[in-house]
Amino acid sequence: IFFRQRFVEMPEKENVFLFVPNLIGYARTLLAVIGFYVAFEYPWVFGITYSLSFILDGADGYYARKLDQCTDLGAVLDMVVDRCGTAGLCIILSHFYPSLRFWFICLIMLDFTSHWYKMYSSLKLGQGHKTVSKEKTNPLLYLYYTSRPVLGFVCTGNEFFYIGLYMYHFDPSTVVMVFTLICFPVWAFKQVTNVIQLTGSMKELADIDAEMRLKRAK
């Protein structure tokens, strides 16, 4: 009876795939795919679906913390959807603005490499990919990751800048141009943080490698 009671009381294995934050991640992916499918023909449909996918980026983290459903699957899903969404939009913009194609390629490379290095270095250090140390982190990057209002504002301004460029291709009005120019400084700040994040994460990995080699040499 004792063993039977213990067996009955054991918690069942949870289906992490059905956690609320992950369901939001799937919805974001679907919205982005729909948006990219119609991006060249229906700009307003793309603008709505892409914006909704981006806005939901804040919801998955909120519910992950609120429902105690923070998972590695969710963290990677969130990162992948973010990076693929921005990269997809940059590819579209490279078609709309051929003279800037090289720079859009560079932006995609910077976005992917900076976040990949950050995630991998955090994994090696046993930290979350948004965890930063005040003593070892550049002040701008520390502010970016530790202040949710700053993080939200910068990410929103960055995406709205790209959306503004997209909409300007279809509607080259003064309103769209002014909107895009307003977002430009925030976008520029985001690229600076990406560079800082890339170089800082590379240094962290180099320090880890150097320490491991030193231990093996002893």
- List all residues 6 or more positions away from 87 whose beta carbon is below 8 Å from its beta carbon: 108, 111, 112
Query: φ and ψ at 128, to 5 degrees?
Result: -75, 155
CA dist., res. 208 & res. 125, Å (int): 9
What per-residue string of b and e applies to 59-68 under the rule 16 or more CB within 10 Å gives b? ebbebbeeee
Half-sphere exposure of residue 85: CA atoms within 13 angstroms, side-chain side: 33
Question: Which one of 78, 82, 111, 171 is the catalytic residue?
Answer: 82
Name the residue among 201, 85, 184 with its Cα closest to residue 138. Answer: 201
Would residue 60 show up in a list of annotated catalytic residues for this protein? Answer: no
Specify the DSSP element, H or E, that contains 90. Answer: helix 72-96
What distance lies between CA 20 and its chain's CA centroid?
18
Positions annotated as catalytic residues are 82
